[in-house]
């Protein structure tokens, strides 16, 4: 009997991984305008490398500024379009809710990762979560993924499987493992 093909994925947080987070008083925030939205150098090549290594690449992002009325749906759609067209990720999943909405998709819950896994037939135990915050690491851990944290001044003390300087270093770890 032949070896079963395993569908693996790398789940990426958006802000702080694919695009630059906005720093204010030592805290990271999502960009709220098109002018503030800047992709991280090397994000597109990292996605290409992951695809070349046989991974699906899905972005999973909390965007509570939609629920809070601080980000327009049109601007979020524009940002999503830029990520999709410039990085060629397989899918971008968004949770537009705030904590008070008590949804199952908002990280640190693993709902977006589980939904992506179901749609794409992904084995979460053979997959990775790359993020820059505790909610990303917790969602990845709850889903059964290996968790890689992009090091930043605002996330010291956050637990993870690996801590790296940027998305390129995370891709090196993943491609070495597979």
Percentage of residues in the chain having pLDDT higher than 70: 97
Domain contains 123: yes
Q: How many domains does the chain have?
A: 1
13 included as an active-site residue: yes
pTM over 0.85: yes
Domain contains 3: no
Domain contains 106: yes
**Which residue of the set 13, 90, 132, 136 is catalytic?**
13
Residue 86, domain CATH: 3.40.50.1000
Domain contains 2: no
**Which residue of the set 15, 65, 75, 132 is catalytic?**
15
Domain that holds residue 66: 8-177
pLDDT for 38-82, tens place per residue? 999 999 999 999 999 999 999 999 999 999 999 999 999 999 999
15 included as an active-site residue: yes
Domain contains 161: yes
DSSP secondary structure, 97-145, as one string = --GGG--SSSTTSSHHHHHHHHHHT--GGG-EEEESSHHHHHHHHHHT-
Q: Provide the 3-class DSSP secondary structure of residue 57.
A: strand
Tokens of 70: 């601080």
Residue 1 has pLDDT above 60, yes or no: no
Domain contains 29: yes
Domain contains 1: no
């Amino acid at each position: 009997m032949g070896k079963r093909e395993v569908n693996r994925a790398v789940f990426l947080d958006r802000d702080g991984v694919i695009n630059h987070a906005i720093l204010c008083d030592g805290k990271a925030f999502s960009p709220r305008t098109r002018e503030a939205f800047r992709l991280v150098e090397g994000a597109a090549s990292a996605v290409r490398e992951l695809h070349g290594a046989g991974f699906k690449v899905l972005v999973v992002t909390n965007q509570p500024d939609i629920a809070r009325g601080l980000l327009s749906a049109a601007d979020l759609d524009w940002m999503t379009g830029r990520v999709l067209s410039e990085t060629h990720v397989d899918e971008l999943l968004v949770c537009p809710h705030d904590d008070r909405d008590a949804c199952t998709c908002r990280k640190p819950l693993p709902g977006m990762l589980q939904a992506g896994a179901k749609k794409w037939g992904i084995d979460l135990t053979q997959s990775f979560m790359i993020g820059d915050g505790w909610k990303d690491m917790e969602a990845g851990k709850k889903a059964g993924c290996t968790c890689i944290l992009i090091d930043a001044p605002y996330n010291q003390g956050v637990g993870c499987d690996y801590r790296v300087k940027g998305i390129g270093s995370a891709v090196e770890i993943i491609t070495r493992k597979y």
